[in-house]
Amino acid sequence: MTGCTDPQLHDLLGAYTLGACPVDEADRVRAHVDGCAPCRGELLELSVARDALLTDVPAQTPSPALKAQVMDRVRAEAELFGAATPQRAAIVEPRRPGWLGGRRAAFAVAATLLIAVVAGIAALSGGDDTPSARTIDAKIDQRQAPGGSAQLIVDRGGHARLVVRGMPDPGRGRVYEVWLRNGTDAPRPTAALFSVDRAGAGETSVPGGVQGADQVLVTSEPAGGSTSPSRVPLVVAAV
């Protein structure tokens, strides 16, 4: 990417956006993005694309038959990708280090499978009105966000989406960051970074879901995110 200070870390942005980086790599990506404007912009674009992919299709509980059809489609897509990847990698990136090519391939597989699952459920499901999600009203720090509101929508699999309304702009050069917390443990950062429109509305998915956590927090952080909260949370949702 033109202007990137570390191409290897730039190539991890996709995996980071999907929450697929180990903790040490995620910390390196956040530190890199904090000082690399091109990667910071691309991370925001990837986050928007990820959120659109995960939120545009209504959550439903698939039947066993539907699950089997979707998984058959996923396996077929994976086999096709596995057969095509070696030739493509050899042509497009002959000089890339081996470990980097492997990570790019792994991210591509993950993206392919995610798209296949979403597309399969969207195409095959329908007419099932069984409730599959619960909505949690979050607590808002009225000193920071007077009149603001937030809801956490969690499906049966633990996948979650946060929707906010009437929130202030996070500040110049800042974004809202989502954190997970369990008991008295320190909040864990996620790859969910978002902003709000002029009306204070915004939303984001929670990478990896909320299983194993009992709170979802939101703070205003420097663009690119932080490894630990730098401000008091203005949104707290009890899972």
Question: Is residue 37 scored above 90 in pLDDT?
Answer: no
Q: Best-predicted range by mean pLDDT among 1-10, 37-46, 71-80, 175-184?
A: 175-184
Residue 50: which of 110, 4, 6 has the closest Cα? 110
Residue 26 is predicted with a pLDDT of 79
Segment 129-153, tens digit of pLDDT = 445 689 999 999 999 999 999 999 9
| Residue 175 contacts residue 223 (beta carbons within 8 Å) | yes
**pLDDT bucket at 67, cuts 50 / 70 / 90:** low
Q: Average pLDDT in the 73-83 region?
A: 60
Q: Is residue 211's pLDDT more than 80? A: yes
In sequence order, which ranges of the chain are alpha helices (DSSP H)? Answer: 7-10, 13-17, 23-35, 37-55, 64-92, 98-124
Predicted confidence band at 154 (pLDDT cuts at 50, 70, 90)? very high
C-alpha distances out from residue 58 to 39, 52, 110, 123, 133, Å: 31, 11, 21, 12, 10
Strands 235-238 and 139-140: antiparallel
If one compares 20 and 235, the residue with the highest pLDDT of the two is 235
pTM score, two decimals? 0.50
| Structure tokens, 90 | 């050899």
Q: What's the whole-number average pLDDT of the chain?
A: 76
Does residue 99 register a pLDDT over 70? no
| pLDDT bucket at 205, cuts 50 / 70 / 90 | very high
When pLDDT is averaged across residues 48-61 and rounded to a whole number, the result is 58
Question: How far apart (Å, rounded) are the C-alpha atoms in residues 159 and 211?
Answer: 8
- In whole angstroms, give the CA distance from residue 193 to residue 187: 15
Q: Is the pLDDT of residue 121 over 80?
A: no
